[in-house]
Amino acid sequence: MNIVDVDYDGLIPNNVGLGSDERVKRALEKWHPGYIDWWNDMGPDGFQSSLVYLRTAVSVDPKGWAKFDYVKMPDYRWGILLAPQLEGRKIAFGAHKGEAAWQEIPGEYRAMLRRLIVIQGDTEPASVEQQRYLGKTAPSLYDMRNLFQVNVEEGRHLWAMVYLLQKYFGTDGREEAEALLQRRSGDPDTPRMLGAFNEKTPDWLSFFMFTYFTDRDGKMQLEALAQSGFDPLSRTCRFMLTEEAHHMFVGETGVTRIVQRTCEAMKEAGISDPYDITKVRKLGVIDLPTIQKKANLHFSLTLDLFGNEISTNAANAFHAGLKGRFREERLQDDHQLEGGTYPVLRLKDGKIEKEDSPALSALNMRLRDDYVVDCNLGVSRWNKVIEQTGIQFQIKLPHVAFHRHIGEFSRTTADVDGNVLSPAEWTERRTDFLPSAQDKDYIESLMQPQWEAGKFAGWIAPPKVGIDNKPGEFEYVKIA
Ligand SMILES: [Fe+2]
Ligand SMILES: [Fe+2]
């Protein structure tokens, strides 16, 4: 099957021939009402009858895959879209390297694969839940629309994973698909599976940091799963990555626009010291040190998503050919990693040191390293904006040992430069590194809705270009 166009005739848009797959079609149609209930209960609060200028995928052709139109979110056509099957695709790594990619799941890998799919699937609805109330304080209709676009696409990503569960995992898959609708972000009894997806996203700076840092973890995981020897998983992840790019765009440009507005306001007011927080806040913009603290928070929470630096699960998934490395095809080695080492940061006698570890066990560390490199690209673009205004300040990612709850550094208390502090010292200096209650209150005080078309809240600059090349005064959301 090599379908590029999406079939929009049935209840569930798809390019997987659902029309001739009665069993899976029925299973998904049965799951559909529960999904809509979940969306209505946990999706954007208060905007379900508003018309939103959204993009919907009409094809999986990278050129021209989406169309834009006004849609009420509950009517969004969530569908199942796989990137086209590549003729003769081979498994690129692990013990099965060189074999034809699997169209069905090898029995011995079923449990491992199901776990990978469920973990990925669980993050998708979680972020929608975390962002549920942000529409109410949107700094513009443009930003509100971007939030909702991210939300409906995370909903679609849930569909993507649920399709795999329903099609390939029988009864277990059905149960997992149900459970994905039952867990709730931050719920003490039925939380989402991963820590960062149970945190709050209370304000728009958090939202932009989340889409910059945490959606980028999503990108890394999807890149690794796009390598999978299980071809349907690879294809679904490849298409998800097309959508994911927009989420990170929203995050990166969101932070850029905040930084830009802050620097411009400081210049206009003749303030050159970024640490003169009282003065800067009087201008109604977010001071740069607080932006840094938010970055510290979201970066460190996201690093935890990569799991333990040394991991048997990661080694097994790679060895089995289920989850590869970031851009596996560009790496110059045997793609099996039976020998060879990778440098891993370890905590040794209270000190942070590099240690060569077996490469196969160090795959989480490696993906995390690739992630940090990717994160730094956008950070340097933020710094360019600051530099252009002549203000002396640089945003810097904290050390990977800072504020960790999983892995090697969960056992220590390091500062943002990686110096190990005593727990008491760390607690005392906590608000030097992470947002304080006052910082949170101040940001919250700025979160006043600006819903007039073409207008922006005072703490964020307008974007350079509109979505779908729309002019500045375009009404991205018709609030009803
Ligand atoms: Fe996603
Ligand atoms: Fe995303």
CA of 435 to the centre of ligand 2 (A): 24
Residue 404 CA to ligand 1 center (angstroms) comes to 23
> Ligand 2 centroid vs 434 CA: distance in angstroms?
24
Say how many Å lie between the CA of residue 122 and the centre of ligand 1: 10
Q: Which ligand is nearest to the CA of 215?
A: 2
Ligand 2 centroid distance, CA of 325 (Å): 19
Question: Which residue carries 């090697």 as its tokens?
Answer: 408
Residues 6+ apart with CB under 8 A from 261: 285, 458, 459, 460, 461
- Which ligand neighbours the alpha carbon of 247 most closely? 2
> What is the predicted pLDDT for the residue at 8?
85
* Ligand index nearest the alpha carbon of residue 212: 2
φ, ψ of residue 8 to 5 degrees: the values are -105, 15
If you measure from the C-alpha of residue 247 to the centroid of ligand 2, how many angstroms do you get, rounded to a whole number?
5
Q: What angle do CA 226, 230, 235 make, to 5 degrees?
A: 45
Q: Which ligand has the shortest distance to the CA of 159?
A: 1
> Among 34, 33, 35, 1, which residue's Cα sits nearest to residue 18?
1
Per residue in 195-204, pLDDT tens? 999 999 999 9
CA 261 to ligand 1 centroid distance, Å: 29
- Ligand number nearest to the C-alpha of 237: 1
Radius of gyration in angstroms for the set of CA atoms belonging to the chain, rounded to a whole number? 23
* Ligand 1 center to 163 CA (angstroms): 15
Residues in the chain: 480
Phi/psi at 282 (nearest 5 deg)? -60, -25
> How far are the Cα atoms of 105, 119, 153, 191, 447 from residue 176, in angstroms, in the given order?
17, 10, 20, 15, 37
Ligand at minimal distance from the CA of 240 is 1
Paired tokens of 266? 């400081």
Give me the helix-helix angle, 231-269 and 110-130, nearest 10°: 30
User: In the chain, which stretches have pLDDT less than 70?
Assistant: 1-4
Q: Rounded to the nearest whole angstrom, what is the distance from the C-alpha of residue 210 to the centroid of ligand 1?
A: 12
For residue 150, report the distance from its CA to the centre of ligand 2, in Å: 6
pLDDT in tens, 78-102: 999 999 999 999 999 999 999 999 9
Structure token digits, residue 382? 């933020």
Compute, in angstroms, the gap from residue 152 CA to the centroid of ligand 2. 10
SS (H, E, C) the chain: CCCCECECCCCCCECCCHHHCHHHHHHHHHHHHHHHHHHHHHCCCCCCCCEEEEEEECECCCCCCEEEEEEEHHHCCCCECCCCCCCCCECCCCCCCCCECECCCCHHHHHHHHHHHHHHHHHHHHHHHHCCCHHHHCCCHHHHHHHHHHHHHHHHHHHHHHHHHHHHCHHHHHHHHHHHHHCCCCCCCCCCCCHHHHCCCCCHHHHHHHHHHHHHHHHHHHHHHHCCCEHHHHHHHHHHHHHHHHHHHHHHHHHHHHHHHHHHHHHHHCCCCCCCHHHHHHCCCCCHHHHHHHHHHHHHHHHHHHCCCCCHHHHHHHHCCCCCCCCHHHCCCCCCCCCCEEEEEEEECCEEEEEEEECCCCHHHHHHHHHHHHHHHHHHHHHHHHHHCCCCCCCCCCCCCECCCCCHHHHCCECCCCCECCHHHHHHHHHHHCCCHHHHHHHHHHCCCCCCCCCCCCCCCCCCCCHHHCCCCCCCEECC
Q: How far apart are CA 50 and CA 142, in angstroms?
A: 14
At position 306, the amino acid (one-letter code) is: F
468 CA → ligand 2 middle, Å: 19
* pLDDT at residue number 2: 45
How far does the centroid of ligand 1 lie from the alpha carbon of residue 15, in Å? 19
Encoding tokens for residue 303?
């690093």
pLDDT tens digits, 241-282: 999 999 999 999 999 999 999 999 999 999 999 999 999 999
- Ligand 1 centroid from CA 124, angstroms: 5
CA of 352 to the centre of ligand 1 (A): 33
Ligand nearest to the CA of 158: 1
Rounded to the nearest whole angstrom, what is the distance from the C-alpha of residue 245 to the centroid of ligand 2? 8
Distance between CA atoms of residues 151 and 163, nearest Å: 19
Ligand with the closest atom to the CA of 122 = 1
| Residue 305 Cα to ligand 1 middle (Å) | 14
Distance of CA 337 from the midpoint of ligand 2 (Å): 30
Q: How far is the CA of 122 from the centre of ligand 2 (A)?
A: 12
**What spacing in Å lies between the alpha carbon of 222 and ligand 1's midpoint?**
9
Question: 82: CA distance to ligand 2 center in Å?
Answer: 17
Q: How far is the CA of 86 from the centre of ligand 1 (A)?
A: 23
pLDDT for the residue numbered 3: 56
CA of 247 to the centre of ligand 1 (A): 8
Report how far ligand 2's centroid is from the alpha carbon of 215 (Å). Answer: 5
Tokens of 470: 């729309």
pLDDT value, residue 136: 98
Q: How far is the CA of 244 from the centre of ligand 2 (A)?
A: 5
Q: Which of 179, 72, 51 is nearest to 121 (CA)?
A: 179
CA 98–ligand 2 middle distance (angstroms):
31
Q: How far, in Å, is the centroid of ligand 1 from the Cα of 244?
A: 6
- Distance from Cα 452 to the centre of ligand 2, integer Å: 27
Residue 360 contacts residue 315 (beta carbons within 8 Å): yes
- CA 229 to mean position of chain CA atoms: 23
CA atoms of 353 and 343, how far apart (whole Å) = 10
Q: Hey, which residues does 52 pair with through a beta bridge? A: 71, 477
- In the prediction, which pLDDT does 49 show? 97
CA 320 to chain centre: 26
